[in-house]
Structure 1
Amino acid sequence: MDMTIAKFAAAGGVGVETIRFYQRKGILKTPKRLEGGRRYGAEDVRRLKFIRQAQTAGFTLEEIGELLELDAGEDRERARDAAKARLIALETRIAELNRIREALERLVAECSSGQSGPCPILKSFGL
């Protein structure tokens, strides 16, 4: 594979500015400029897809950088610990979202159209 930045971005399902952002953050390498511009290969696409998958799983760019450092080694314990920490954070966020959903469900039930007076939804938000 010998791709321009535009083709590289398309292969990873991102925009060119995203590639440049990742390069500024140090999680994607900036290839040397050759005649005709910078060129990207299969390994670059693999790394970009890894970054996108890790973001989908909720990892921050800093955490992704740490995972990418582990990619070269065999430190399964650190990779597992990072994934466990992300899992705990996700479970905490899910519990928080469930509490919010339950509160909104209660407010919706309290705000039936047949009642008079201020709407409990608006009142709960301080109106």
Structure 2
Amino acid sequence: MNIGQASKQSGISSKMIRYYEQIGLLETVHRSDAGYRLYSKEDIDDLCFLRHSRDLGFSSKQMKELLYLRKNTNRQSADVKQLTQEHIETLNQKIAQLQEMVDALQNSFDNCAGDDNADCAILEDLGQAR
């Protein structure tokens, strides 16, 4: 199947598929005599795997490692679990940082009168943060 069909089946844009191939995340696909990319069912499975991995926030480097582990029949599940645990820890750190941001903004928001007065606690708090 061609890149448009692969895009539709995998949910990944044609541009992103080309990018994944360029950075070595996706193995070089076969080409027709005319030079068009031809995707196999295995390629589509890989693309779907990559899309789901990306949706879960894995980096390109992590996705490459996961795809390698997926294809390596001699893999150890401990390797996959370790990589996933590290990703979970990173996500939890990001969640904590985002929650701190929400708390700070909520505090400023709660202290802003939101009326016709020019005084604004939000702007004051933003100006004091360093």
- TM-score normalised over the length of structure 2: 0.87
Deviation at 1:126, TM superposition (A): 2.1
In the comparison of the two structures, how many residue pairs are matched? 125
CA deviations over 1:51-98 (Å, ceiling 9, x no partner): 111111111000110111111233211100000000001111111111
Deviates more, 1:62-71 or 1:112-121: 112-121
Q: 2:115, 2:102 → 1: CA distance?
A: 23
Query: Partner of 2:81 in structure 1?
Result: 80
Query: Partner of 2:41 in structure 1?
Result: 42
The amino acid of 2:81's aligned partner reads R
Query: Partner of 2:54 in structure 1?
Result: 55
CA deviations over 1:1-25 (Å, ceiling 9, x no partner): xx11111111111221111000011
Gaps of 5+ in 1: none
The amino acid of 1:121's aligned partner reads I
Higher relative contact order (CA 8 A, sep 6+): 1
Gaps of 5+ in 2: none
Within 5 Å, which residues of 2 pair with 1:87-126? 87-113=88-114, 116=117, 118-126=119-127
Identity of aligned residues (%): 27
1:126 alignment partner, SS class: helix
Query: Partner of 2:63 in structure 1?
Result: 64
CA-based RMSD of the aligned residues comes to 1.8
Query: Partner of 1:18 in structure 2?
Result: 16
